[in-house]
Structure 1
Amino acid sequence: MAVLLSTKAAAMEMWRDALLALDPTLEIRLFPDAGEPADIEAAVVWTAHDMAELRRYPNLRLIVSMGAGVDHLFRPPGPPPGIPVARLVDRMLTSQMGEWVLLNVLRFHRQDLEYRALQRDRTWLELPAPVTAERRIGILGLGELGTHAAGLLRGLGFPVMGWTRRPRALDGVEGFHGDAGLPAMAARSDILVCLLPLTAATRGIVNARLLGLLPRGAFLINGARGGHVVDADLLAALDSGQVAGAALDVFEPEPLPPGRPYWSHARVVMTPHAASITIPASAAPQVVENIHRARAGQPLLNLVDFAAGY
């Protein structure tokens, strides 16, 4: 039996080599060269792969998504019914996202946008020093990524709050949950960080109402999915000064078309969905483990809960 591998062309061979280094007996086929469809027992794929195409493989018993986010799996037609889908929960992905969040929190906290503007104008001006203990950080989502980011921020002395759908206790983090908790946390968030999974319930959650609840001059950091943000509402909030700046790593669509306003907005810092990038050598062990578990009929790691949406 064989494993089908489908990702960006530049990463295909790295993934193959990382999997074979752990289990040289694996037969790995690189999409689109799948060979005989009946041979495929597992598919290790990323967002561009067509879920409909996976219905060609009658003996498929496992799908592994090469990332932490799984919203792409919910696009019609979705994965073949009855086939378990696993996502990656990888320490390197988590660490990278924490670094990116920290980078941008400090960028805004230490007035980097203002100092860069002064530099462009050749103006020597010392701005009032910010106080870390007074810069309140609100994190939307306290899963693997949000919990790690919260710990990093707490370690620097920032007051950290977190919002989740259901109550979640986390040491040193003030918790908010549900419909009532969201506006309560937003009203106290000088920097709002979105690390939520994208579901029907969270799509468009960063909208005019939520942005209007933030303290005037607050900042937004979105490392989750572009669908969380209503672009027109964020641009209006930036232009009015309600939001003083935004760091965005994710967009709809991607790649972001050249004509979109974010590209040239003076108060927006962009990265091209690069905040957290899967490193094959780090992620491969859990992929190989799940392939072995699927063969043995054992419980799988990090299964996607399609009812919950992540």
Structure 2
Amino acid sequence: MKITICFATLPPEPWVQAVQQAFPAAEVFAWAPGAPQADHAIVWAPPQQFIDEQSTLQALFNIGAGVDALLQLKLPPSLKVVRLDDAGMSVQMAEFVCHAVIRHFRELDAYEADVKTGRWSYRKPQSRADFAVGVMGLGVLGERVAKALQVFEFPVNGFSRSPKDLPGIRCFHGPQGLPEFLAATRVLVNLMPLTTETENILNQSTLSQLQQGGYLINVARGKHLVDEDLLALIDSGHLSGATLDVFRTEPLPAGHVFWQHPKITVTPHTSARTLREESIAQIVGKIQALQRGEPINGVVEHHRGY
């Protein structure tokens, strides 16, 4: 059993050592052009050359939740693409989103600005009943986020491609359900997978359907959002602001308007980080299951994009 590791932006050596320790029976190595053939690969945004050279691969294990970068490559039809089920990311995402929602709901940005000027201020408390939060995408991460928001007694809506039934959450699905979902939502949390169907889905048409004073939290992919449309809707007053953790170009370029916009909070794609030990334990378990001929969770359907 040979396992190769190929990361576009991360040093592979810590992963090589940790995977080898977790799976002593395997031969684990970092990929470089001309490297030996492997049975399985652990990857993050590998180049096409990697796919072309590693012709014996049975499965690609992606260390992030999104697989859009992999599906842009020319992959053999028989090659399994496997995403992480969770590996510690869902609790991080729930923390991040709840923090962003509560920060906006409690107007903590405005209080912070007042404190910096030495002003002791007061704002009338807002009603949770008027602050319905809509979670767009009800996969593993989205479902965890929706359930976490319920703890703070916000009305929670959920939107997914196919029907879902989650206790206490008002669920919508499919293209026919999207307008009603948006109209019922004050704070929109985007956790959709990035596919050809969802690219640019956060645009003038959809975002303008949010309730007056709506707020956007994008923690999925930068390509979901049409930047200019968000800015126009904030400038018009229809949207009150946004928290953005993902961007079309990362790192976010110096001088981009998002950096200094007073109604936009920027974070550096840190809402849910890959936890190495948890991820390796999951990946090794799945490789061992494949060796035994058992089915595994997280296999991506190429035509759906997730």
TM-score by length of 1: 0.93
Q: Does 1:41 align with 2:78?
A: no
Rounded to whole Å, the distance in 2 between the matches of 1:114 and 1:291 is: 50
SS in 2 for 1:213: coil
Q: How far is 1:215 from its partner?
A: 1.6
Q: Deviations over 1:104-147 (max 9, x none)?
A: 00110110121122223322210111223432101111111111
User: In structure 1, which of residues 58, 61, 64 is the aligned counterpart of residue 58 of structure 2?
Assistant: 61
Counterpart residue number, 1:13 = 13
User: In structure 1, which of residues 79, 84, 105 is the aligned counterpart of residue 80 of structure 2?
Assistant: 84
Q: Does 1:227 align with 2:223?
A: yes
Q: Does 1:255 align with 2:228?
A: no
Contact in 1 for aligned 2:246/2:268 (Cα 8 Å) = yes
Q: Does 1:51 align with 2:48?
A: yes
Contact in 1 for aligned 2:135/2:157 (Cα 8 Å) = yes
Counterpart residue number, 1:26 = 26
Contact in 2 for aligned 1:52/1:78 (Cα 8 Å) = no
Rounded to whole Å, the distance in 1 between the matches of 2:96 and 2:280 is: 23
Greater shift, 111-120 or 224-233, is seen at: 111-120
Counterpart residue number, 2:167 = 171
Rounded to whole Å, the distance in 2 between the matches of 1:46 and 1:5 is: 9
SS in 1 for 2:150: helix
1:293-308 → structure 2 map (5 Å cutoff): 293-308=289-304
SS in 1 for 2:242: strand
Alpha carbon RMSD of aligned pairs, Å?
1.7
Rounded to whole Å, the distance in 2 between the matches of 1:115 and 1:79 is: 51
Q: Does 1:206 align with 2:202?
A: yes
The alpha-carbon distance between structure 1 residues 198 and 269, as it changes in their structure 2 partners (threshold 3 A), is same
Greater shift, 287-296 or 181-190, is seen at: 287-296
Q: How far is 1:280 from its partner?
A: 1.0
Contact in 1 for aligned 2:44/2:63 (Cα 8 Å) = yes
Percentage identity across paired residues of the two chains: 36
Structure 1 residue runs of 5 or longer lacking an equivalent are: none
Q: How far is 1:24 from its partner?
A: 1.6
Contact in 1 for aligned 2:51/2:75 (Cα 8 Å) = yes
Rounded to whole Å, the distance in 2 between the matches of 1:58 and 1:140 is: 37
For 2:47, give the aligned amino acid.
Answer: D
Rounded to whole Å, the distance in 2 between the matches of 1:78 and 1:222 is: 28
Q: How far is 1:10 from its partner?
A: 5.1
Counterpart residue number, 1:279 = 275
SS in 1 for 2:88: helix
Counterpart residue number, 1:139 = 135
Rounded to whole Å, the distance in 2 between the matches of 1:96 and 1:279 is: 10
Contact in 1 for aligned 2:87/2:282 (Cα 8 Å) = no
Q: Deviations over 1:44-86 (max 9, x none)?
A: 0002x113422212321111111111111121x3333311111
Q: How far is 1:276 from its partner?
A: 0.6
Rounded to whole Å, the distance in 1 between the matches of 2:141 and 2:10 is: 26
User: In structure 2, which of residues 156, 159, 169 is the aligned counterpart of residue 160 of structure 1?
Assistant: 156
Structure 2 residue runs of 5 or longer lacking an equivalent are: none
Rounded to whole Å, the distance in 2 between the matches of 1:227 and 1:281 is: 29
Contact in 1 for aligned 2:86/2:141 (Cα 8 Å) = no
Q: Deviations over 1:286-309 (max 9, x none)?
A: 211222233344323310111211
Contact in 2 for aligned 1:286/1:301 (Cα 8 Å) = no
SS in 1 for 2:215: strand
Contact in 2 for aligned 1:51/1:73 (Cα 8 Å) = no
SS in 2 for 1:221: strand
Contact in 2 for aligned 1:61/1:294 (Cα 8 Å) = no
SS in 2 for 1:44: strand
